[in-house]
Chain A
Amino acid sequence: MLDDFLVRAGLAGIGTALAAAPLGCFVVWRRMAYFSDATAHAALLGVALSLAFQGPIILGVLATALVMAFIVQSLLGSGLAQDTSLGVLAHSALAAGLVAVSFLSGVRVDLMGYLFGDILAVTRTDLALIWGGALAVVGLMAWRWQRLLTATLNPDLAQASGISARFEGLILMLALALTVAVAIKAVGALLIGALLVIPPAAARPLVRTPVSMALVTAVIGTASALGGLLSSLTFDTPTGPSIVCVAAALFVATLTSAKLLRR
């Protein structure tokens, strides 16, 4: 079954959507959209480093995403304007990654694949890494769920209950770095942010509790991945952007149907 590239691509898409679902909810609730962009863009630098040192791509991506997440976290703590400093980091990371890749003259690099994803070329090893990473992220989020929610709602409230808002923030950083590493194959560095933000935003009008939002987000993410894959085959369009377009269409659909129902 796994011999079929389409089955592998579908499974990769589902794994990525599952990892992105609970984390994406927190990205939306904590208004970290720009934050996740900065971390995802840093992944390209990780790709360049992995290629330069001939190491596994996923490790390089994981390492640079982690470093970037910690830099962003400490910058935010230092009281600099969030919007601006995150913008500086997100765009610089992307530019530095592109420059770094251009230095790799000896290697033939499929830049488009890393920027926009190459889900149709997923190997069995990729698939194992994607699902391993996705399960790790989902497990991490499930384990810390109540604490993460409390810290997200109000850091002081969490602190009073003996929950370190800072530590829970670091857990989210770790989950974010893992998700970036998992998702780069499916949607590419440029569109990971979209996969984190759009499905939860599409789920919001349909739900009333945090848990149901995470579950509906997973369903919408999976539908986007499979729908994007299908339309990419049908219309011969790039897969990553197609997945994001389907997610965006679902967002418009849930938003308008909620508005109409409320009339």
Chain B
Amino acid sequence: MLIEAHDLTLAHGGRPAMRHVDFAIDRGEIVTLVGPNGSGKSTLVKGLIGALPATSGTVTRADGLKVGYVPQTLQIDSFFPLTVRDFLCLPQRQTKADIAAALDSAGVPGLQRRQLSALSGGQLQRVMLARAVMMRPDILILDEPTQGLDQPGAAAFYQQIARVRDDLNCAVLMVSHDLHVVMAASDRVLCLNGHICCQGTPEVVQSAPEYRALFGAGTAGAFALYRHEHDHDHTHDHEPHDHA
């Protein structure tokens, strides 16, 4: 396992935001976290990369694990001059040839000398992906990577991520809002709302009552092959409990 969480509880601003998570991810998997706003998706990601200490429970990362992280967005102060090339050299310096190759394969060739703050949303996402891929990560973690992309742009981006997974045989962990695209691109989906509501293959999750309670039945095609016996509501104040 690359990253493993056991009974992990995380707090955000002094309040528990994610309770009793058991989670593991291995090479080659694409796992997506879905859930409404404030459901603790980003909190869980921060906990897994070690940016947020566990309130209780444990997170274990494999020895020497290389994480390629693509944040939701980068807020760059207008007084912070940073070219794409500088950005790709954080934290490790890279050769010119490697930088050119990484930008080429991310679909944004020739941007080396552009200021990071002058890029469009789509270009910035691709440059951030290029940086993460350059680190030759064991696991790629992306927090809402397609925010600000239109539907075709998002679809192309997810294809790019699947290619990266195939090239590097790395794991991919994503946070996402675009349910439909994500469902097509993931091996496993975790539906969150302060805890893990349900998880499984996209088909299983789409037909789970917890998922429908959060997102509505929508265009979910598959009939409920998976019956979830546990009845519960989705308020945040309830006592932590197990799901069968």
Q: Which residues of A contact B (CB under 8 A)?
A: 28-29, 31, 79, 146-147, 149-150, 152-161, 163, 165, 200-201, 204, 207-210, 212-213
Contact = CB atoms under 8 A, between A and B. Distances in A.
Given A153-B74, A156-B49, A163 B79 contact: no
A146 B74 contact: no
Contacts of A79: 13-14
Contacts of A147: 91
A153 B74 CA distance: 7
B76 A208 contact: no
Interface of B: 13-14, 46, 49-51, 67-69, 71, 74, 76-77, 79-83, 86-87, 89-93, 113, 115, 135, 141
Among all A-B residue pairs, the 10 with the closest Cβ atoms: A160-B69, A159-B51, A160-B67, A150-B90, A29-B80, A150-B91, A160-B49, A156-B51, A146-B91, A28-B79
Nearest to A161: B91
Contacts of A152: 80
A29 B51 contact: no
A141 to B, nearest CB: 15
Given A153-B82, A210-B82, A213-B81, A159 B74 contact: no
A163 B51 CA distance: 10
B71 A157 contact: yes
15 contacts: A28-B79, A29-B77, A29-B79, A31-B77, A79-B13, A146-B90, A153-B82, A153-B90, A157-B90, A158-B91, A159-B46, A204-B79, A209-B82, A210-B80, A210-B81
Contacts of A153: 74, 76, 80, 82, 87, 90
A147 B83 CA distance: 17
Nearest to B67: A160
Contacts of A200: 79
Contacts of B77: 28-29, 31
Nearest to A212: B81
B91 A154 contact: no
Given A29-B77, A161-B69, A210-B82, A149 B49 contact: no
Which of B71, B91, B113 is most buried by chain A, counting CB atoms within 10 A of its CB? B91
A217 to B, nearest CB: 11
Contacts of A160: 49-51, 67-69, 141
Nearest to B143: A156
Contacts of A31: 77
B124 to A, nearest CB: 12
B81 A207 contact: yes
A149 B81 contact: no
Given A210-B81, A213-B81, A149 B90 contact: yes
Given A31-B77, A208-B113, 14 more contacts: A28-B79, A29-B79, A29-B80, A153-B87, A153-B90, A156-B69, A160-B49, A160-B51, A161-B69, A163-B91, A165-B51, A200-B79, A209-B81, A209-B83
A165 B51 CA distance: 9
